[in-house]
Amino acid sequence: MEYAVETFSLTKIFSDWWGRRKIYAVDDLNLKINSNEVFGLLGPNGSGKTTTIKMLLGLLHPTKGKSLCLGADATDPKISARIGFLPEESYLYRYLNARETLDFYGRLFRLERRVRKTRIEALLDMVGLKAVANRPVGTFSKGMARRIGLAQALINDPDLLILDEPTTGLDPIGTRQIKDLIIKLAQRGKTVLLCSHLLADVEDVCDRIAILYGGKIQAKGRVAELLQQTNKRQITTDAISDEAIEKITQIVHRENADCQVTSPMEKLETFFINTVATAQQHSKQTSGAVSTTKIGDFLAADTIAENILDKLVSTPPAQQRLAEPPKTEPIKTTGTPDRDADKQLLSELTEPAKSPQNIEADGAIGTNQVETDVPHPKDQVKEDVLEQLRDRPKPQNAQPVQNDDTEAGESGDA
């Protein structure tokens, strides 16, 4: 099996001015990232994450060893055409506006003018910067620059996406969207290498992780395997009666085990997103200009963008993906307001698991509640989506039908 990224004894030693070897930034690193995997490279500051990425991309020369991306050298144009890269900060040309920036990168990928135009608009929509697309990116805040950086990395619909600290400078909503995006890309068969020290991000989206310290891998494996406490079990239920709890406690005691009953805390992230979504709902008219308030539309637009990208890729893999839309659908349909929370929970539990750790992760964040708690903004979102779908020629036929058909969210963020 071909790995998406493979390194062989990759070593980088920084020497001082006299050529004396000073720092082992990366030390004998052997990394194998499977295709169609979200891989998290974790580590504290200065642990060699960024250096590794730069060596993968040919920005730094390894002192020893070598690395392969998609089976070859990443500096080969044939390979780099299939890679998307977001550096640790969005280094943009300050004098270009958002649209020109994306156009420039699109040209570097030798995309046709028509393709470029469609993708740029879709991406701008997706990152919520359409309203400020004609402003020089030099005037952008860090978060906005980050969004453009992300759009830039996606313009070629990459097979391998390398993200270095993608969520720095982003607000929680933006962070959440990037995470959703990563998961979606993985579902479409892409490989993502995520490099971060923000553990929550990594935990939510990664299939496998490696923890780097001092340029060496200290631990690696599946997130589920590394984190699962096999000596404990957790049961989450709806708000059931005290009697029922009593009964369950008795059953547990019969097993000679200890049992604690609490109401689960909502995650701060979830709470934050809900609060903003509500506020946004109230000030819909005035908020059109500011990018962050367009976030509501973003997720939906995001999917459209994806589908457009899909169609644009007129290669055989596109046909394979025809089977996938039901998988990507849930992100939109989770907004369906009329279904009640019980059903969602149920469906979540019964969802055919992609991999065991996904359930673990989903359960941990409880993202289903996010959608169900505030149905109205999502409703609005859905209508926007439909409108946009009508405007777009290609996905027109397929999408609305799927919207109606799918049952309430298979999983919140799967």
Residues of this chain that bind another protein (CB under 8 A):
14, 23, 25, 46, 48, 50-51, 54, 57-61, 74, 77-78, 80-81, 83, 85, 87, 89, 91-93, 95-96, 100, 104-105, 107-110, 136, 149, 152-153
User: Least distance to another protein from the beta carbon of 115, Å?
Assistant: 13
CB 129: neighbour CB atoms within 10 A? 25
User: Least distance to another protein from the beta carbon of 81, Å?
Assistant: 4
CB < 8 Å & 24+ apart, contacts of 165-170: 165/88, 165/195, 165/196, 165/197, 165/198, 166/86, 166/194, 166/196, 166/201, 167/196, 167/198, 167/201, 168/88, 168/89, 168/142, 168/198, 169/141, 169/142, 169/143, 169/145, 170/143, 170/146
User: Least distance to another protein from the beta carbon of 47, Å?
Assistant: 9
CA distance 359 to 349: 8
For another protein, give the closer residue by CB, 105 or 298: 105
Residue 175, amino acid:
T
DSSP state of 286: G
User: Least distance to another protein from the beta carbon of 10, Å?
Assistant: 15
For another protein, give the closer residue by CB, 137 or 206: 137
User: DSSP per residue over 132-160, as a string?
Assistant: GTTSBGGG--HHHHHHHHHHHHHTT--SE
For another protein, give the closer residue by CB, 92 or 181: 92
CA distance 357 to 223: 7
User: DSSP per residue over 61-90, as a string?
Assistant: --SEEEEEETTB-TTSHHHHTTEEEE-SS-
User: Least distance to another protein from the beta carbon of 324, Å?
Assistant: 27
For another protein, give the closer residue by CB, 157 or 204: 157
User: Least distance to another protein from the beta carbon of 41, Å?
Assistant: 15
For another protein, give the closer residue by CB, 35 or 63: 63
User: Least distance to another protein from the beta carbon of 179, Å?
Assistant: 22
Half-sphere exposure for 322 (CA within 13 Å, toward CB): 7
Query: Which pair of structure tokens corresponds to residue 293?
Result: 């308030």
For another protein, give the closer residue by CB, 70 or 173: 70
For another protein, give the closer residue by CB, 49 or 179: 49
CB 28: neighbour CB atoms within 10 A? 15
User: Least distance to another protein from the beta carbon of 50, Å?
Assistant: 6
Contacts of 156 (CB under 8 A, 6+ apart): 81, 82, 84, 106, 109, 111
For another protein, give the closer residue by CB, 54 or 179: 54
